[in-house]
Structure 1
Amino acid sequence: MQKWLSIIGIGEDGLDGLSAAARTLVQSADLLIGGERHLAMIPQQQDQERIAWAASQLLAQADGLAQQYKGRRTCVLASGDPMWFGIGATLAKRIPAAEITVVPHPGAFSLAAARLLWPLDAVDCLSLHGRPLDLLAPFLTPGARLLLLTENGAAPAKIADYLVRRGFGSAQLTLLEHLGGAQDNSLTGTAKDWPHKTCADLNLLAVEVRDGPGLTRLAGLEDDLYLHDGNITKREIRAVTLARLSPFPGDLLWDVGAGSGSISIEWLRADRRNRAIAIENKDARRSMIAQNALALGVPQLEIKSGSVPDALNGLPDPDAVFIGGGITTEGLIERCWQALKPGGRLVANVVTLEGESVLEQARRDHGGDLARFSVQRAEPVGRFHGWHAMMPVTQWSVTKE
């Protein structure tokens, strides 16, 4: 099939910075699409139609691109590398690869790494354009280096304030404006003393974390990091449960009877590509889940209300399912099992005899393993300390063939 759509990365150096092949695709296009800033870099040509995309309408315009313009030589201009937090990745989900040509340009991350002499393989690169600052939380650990695409000229000051509030005020910040262009400029300072309230809208912020209260991305965070009403999978059991759920990058988890949301939150913290849906019937608990998700850096957690198994209707099929509540509900296990993808993992924890009976029947029906965990913690007994036993937890875990 003819490649009717070309996606061309362009930098602040404009047309002069494009390769000969990229210039040919731009100049021979019947239709040139891009932001106002991108289009202004390209001289007008007779008989070439131009369409300016507004950032606020980008997704809607991308959805209709193939239907409206397929068959015309169409060129879309993008900043830097179109496949790194760019329009190229968006269009690749909507248009077959056989119809697209992508020509990248050195992007902001590559230009910043070269400027700072930071090895890109040792840096976390994130886009905060249209995304909440709480996404930063899992990456804030002593010694971390971050390259952040920000939303506008006011965003770096907000990020500096966020770092201070999270206890990372000593972080060293370097603001890079108009990288690679005639207005290229840099500003530096620490988060706690950041003096620049505004800057150029086109910017990248480099963050070097010196010290602060970082949290591991491994499962088993302290229980007191969560808001909860007592209905929480305790730290030791949570670590075992996540190990059996085995999160792989990009996998989707159903957290059924989510309680405080600790399982789905730590599932998401394992890899930023992971997805999770927390299903919880009680309003107060859903509120706690939302607050916990923000505090622990996973605001993308989807929270769904309703009683199971009906609340599961219409959800995308999961790669893994955790059942932490409602196990005795008739039909719940079968509903989860039917939805689970081949190779998917299902884990259920119970503390009651009735729950154990359900899990034993599930093991007979579907196989898998049963295990019982007993945890004791040392607690004060007068002037001394003794062992306090928590309720034993019975766990069923199985992989769907």
Structure 2
Amino acid sequence: MITVVGWDGQEFSARAVDKLREATLVVGPDAVLGQLRLSAPTAADGALLEVLDDHFEHGEGPAVVVAEGDPGFFGVVRTLRAHGLKPEVVPAISLITRAFARAGLNWEDALVVAPSGPGQIDRVVNACRAHPKVALLVAPGVGPGEIARELAPTTPRALIVCEDLGGPDERVTHSRMGEATTRPWKDPDVVLVLDPLHQPKEPGWLAGAQPGPAEWALPFEGALPPEVRAFILAKLGPRLGDLVWDVGAGEGEIAVECARMGAAVVAVERAEESCARLRANVLRHGVKVA
């Protein structure tokens, strides 16, 4: 009784067209519905669940929800299933797929983040610090300017800003961080946050974030015994999205371990000889530490 149809700016598939013709109600964003010539009644998706509940309560026939891109990827399918609805899904190309295609980049090794709003910007920025290739689905208060301001100056990144993907004003811009904070952006959909100095390793078997380390408490010639480091790591619980400050970092025993577990790490050490060994350990283990 309910079908979710993805729309990416291109013509609908024959299957999607059939579902739209059969529908007695079509719900979706105003900007998308305005471009479709539909005979069925339409409704904005601001009160999606209430509209659908009212429709089905009166038994008024099949409904279609139109969503941008692949609705099963950070999309409306999760919302509907959590409400007890089991939709049929006709997907389109997701914004993430389109963004990487427009940039000419592979993306099986990319981390995708989809914040709900400005309250999650810290975790998003920490993920960008720790991971060399991040795709950000833009949300209110979490866009190219905000990300660039938070990353500068300790974490240099290249930004690829994708605006109005699939629309008439589509634009893909390679931007420096300073530029990203000052120029006006029009309807950014996705920001690719890339570490220009990262050297990719051999192809992996897992898409997105890589699994955690196989062991804790690596052999170090530092001051902390392995058992003490293992205890500290267990208490800290560093993970992707966290920011760890290691003050008095020594040779980086804790900083390196936290970075291996996915956290963003800032190491502070005043002894120059220790800093040199800390840098060497960071490079040896291939992790990101500021």
TM-score range, shorter-chain basis? 0.5 to 0.7
Question: What per-residue deviation string (whole Å, max 9, x for no partner) do you get for residues 201-239 of structure 1?
Answer: 242111102369xxx966979xxxxxxxxxxxx642144
1:39 aligns with 2:33: yes
Give yes or no for the alignment of 1:52 onto 2:44.
Answer: yes
* Highest RCO, 1 vs 2 (Cα 8 Å, sep ≥ 6): 2
After superposition, residues 108-119 of structure 1 pair within 5 angstroms as 108-119=95-106
- Give the alignment's TM-score, normalised by structure 2: 0.65
Distance 1:144 1:237 in 2: 28
Q: Give the letter aligned to residue 88 of structure 2.
A: T
Asked whether the 8 Å contact 2:125–2:151 carries over to 1, the reply is: no
Unpaired runs of at least 5, structure 2: 199-210, 218-227, 245-290
Q: Which residue of 2 aligns with 1:208?
A: 194
Match of 2:152 in 1: 164
Aligned to 1:5: 2
Q: Quote the offset at 1:157 in angstroms.
A: 0.7
Residue matched to 1:370: none
Q: Which amino acid aligns with 1:67?
A: D
Deviations 1:136-162 (A, max 9, x none): 244335771111111259821111101
- Which one of the candidate residues 88, 102, 115 is aligned to 1:128? 115
Q: 1:73 aligns with which of 62, 81, 88?
A: 62
1:189 aligns with 2:175: yes
Q: CA deviation at 1:106?
A: 0.3
Greater C-alpha radius of gyration:
1
Residues 142 and 128 from structure 1, CA distance in 2 versus in 1: closer, same or farther, beyond 3 angstroms? closer
- Which structure has the highest strand share of the two? 1
Identify if the C-alpha distance between structure 1 residues 26 and 196 changes in structure 2 by more than 3 Å, giving closer, same or farther.
farther
1:77 match: secondary structure = strand
Query: What's the TM-score, normalizing by structure 1?
Result: 0.48
Q: Tell me if the contact between 1:35 and 1:53 (Cα under 8 Å) persists in the aligned partners.
A: yes
Distance of 1:155 and 1:44 partners within structure 2 = 33
Structure 2 letter corresponding to 1:19: S
From the superposition, tell whether residues 66 and 44 of structure 1 become closer, same or farther in structure 2 (CA, over 3 Å).
closer
Q: 1:7 to 1:116 in 2, by over 3 A?
A: same
SS at match of 1:120: coil
What corresponds to 2:73 in structure 1?
84
Instruction: Give the number of equivalent residue pairs.
Output: 218
AA at the equivalent of 2:68:
S
The alpha-carbon distance between structure 1 residues 154 and 198, as it changes in their structure 2 partners (threshold 3 A), is farther
Separation in 1, partners of 2:181, 2:71:
32
Shift of 1:53: 2.1
Structure 1 residues 235, 210: CA separation in 2 closer, same or farther (over 3 Å shift)?
farther
> Are the aligned partners of 1:153 and 1:203 in contact in 2 as well (CA < 8 Å)?
no
Write the distance in 2 (CA, Å) between the matches of 1:178 and 1:137: 23
1:262 Cα deviation from its structure 2 partner? 2.8
Q: 2:236 is aligned with what amino acid? A: S
1:201, 1:153 → 2: CA distance?
Answer: 13
Structure 1: which amino acid aligns with 2:194?
E
Partner-residue secondary structure (3-state), 2:160: strand
Q: Matched residues in 1 for 2:229 and 2:178: separation?
A: 33
In structure 2, do the counterparts of structure 1 residues 143 and 133 end up closer, same or farther at CA, with 3 Å as the change threshold?
closer
Q: Which amino acid aligns with 1:28?
A: E
1: CA distance, partners of 2:16 / 2:167: 19
Structure 1: state its 5+ residue gaps: 222-233, 242-260, 273-292, 297-401
% of aligned pairs identical? 20
Structure 1 position 24, deviation (Å): 1.4
Cα distance in structure 2, aligned partners of 1:209 and 1:149:
18
Q: 2:117 touches 2:141 (CA, 8 Å); kept in 1?
A: no
